[in-house]
Amino acid sequence: MNQQVYYVPKVNKEIGNQVSDYINTLTKPVGSLGRLEEIAIELAKMKNEAFPSVTPPGVLVFAADHGITEEGVSSYPQAVTAQMVLNFLSGGAAINVFSRQIGASLNIIDIGVAQDIEHSSLINQKVRYGTGNFYREDAMTREEAENAISVGYEQGQDMINNGAKCLILGEMGIGNTSASSAILAVLSNSDIASLVGTGTGISQETLLHKVAVIHESLQKRNPNPEDPIDIISKVGGLEIAGMTGAMLAAASNRVPVLLDGFICTIAGLLAKEISPNSADYMIVTHQSVEPGHQLAISLLGKKPILDLGLRLGEGTGAAIAYPLIQSATLMLKEMATFDSAGVSTKR
């Protein structure tokens, strides 16, 4: 397995302990801000700063198509990927709304849409025109998988260089829950039927067909569970690989990654396989209704912040959760201590 090595520093546990002690001096009962206190400590460890900042956020949405849609595993046609990319570029999608709400920079990257899209705001980094149908052939070559990760890394690095203090990653790709479920089945050695969901809203009959297609595909492709590049190349997606690379860039720069739903979390698992320390820079923002998401979160050793029944993707859940994470940093920076406020401490 000759894959590129991505250096990711360890988080600073000592500064986390210092911040924990400091939080206990703030004008509130110990532990009374619950998960916000935990998030503040985690951010301090990630950023190696006593008063970490996640402002401004940067949003990267990677778009690509999937050949597996030829097998009838999705309720939407493949053409919707390109149509939604144009919707992103015109500002009309959910991620546009929520990005504006939180003051985030938003970049849309064509990493593998099956047709050409002309738009001045689109970042064209197309590795290939969609993946191969992994029921009949490998999704892509090993070199293409590595290239897609590199594209994601570069896009993440560029967003950070332009001032982003945290990354929110999203995706658009009809058929990508099939690829994500296949990847999770390989990494977890789990029965595919327990992982596959309705995606964009398929019927029960189509769901059973989807399970069968993925099951047979995994038998045909036989990806190596010890080799994340092999998994991506055989059953993965270009946008999944792109998000994986962006996560590695963020972790390399001590920048927190706000994980969105099922597909984004699968990219997080791949990043962890490539560089184990990268998982320490990830925050799972919400619990998706996709059946495999809970298992994926547990494999990362995380717990979600929100459970709103979301299953849209695009980075929307992470963008919605961002103000809560920002609140954790403002608690550290702006709350008074008992001493500074002249408030008596608990006897």
- Rounded to whole angstroms, how far apart are CA atoms 270 and 190? 16
- Rounded to whole angstroms, how far apart are CA atoms 8 and 128? 28
Angle 174-198-109 from CA coordinates, rounded to 5°: 25
Query: Which residues pair with residue 171 across a beta bridge?
Result: 62
Contact 138, 224 (CB under 8 A): no
Query: Which residues pair with residue 105 across a beta bridge?
Result: 58
- Rounded to whole angstroms, how far apart are CA atoms 75 and 319? 26
Choose the catalytic residue: 137, 216, 314, 334. Answer: 314
User: Catalytic residue at 314?
Assistant: yes
Contact 245, 72 (CB under 8 A): no
- Rounded to whole angstroms, how far apart are CA atoms 220 and 186? 13
- The amino acid that residue 306 corresponds to is L
- Rounded to whole angstroms, how far apart are CA atoms 271 and 149? 10
**E strand segments, 194-291:** 257-259, 282-284
Count CB atoms within 10 A of the CB of residue 340. 11
**E strand segments, 125-234:** 166-172
Lookup: tokens for 240: 């999944």
Contact 39, 283 (CB under 8 A): yes
- Rounded to whole angstroms, how far apart are CA atoms 299 and 264? 14
Q: What one-character-per-residue DSSP string does 140-187 give?
A: S-HHHHHHHHHHHHHHHHHHHHTT-SEEEEEEE-TTHHHHHHHHHHHH
Q: Which residues are catalytic?
A: 314
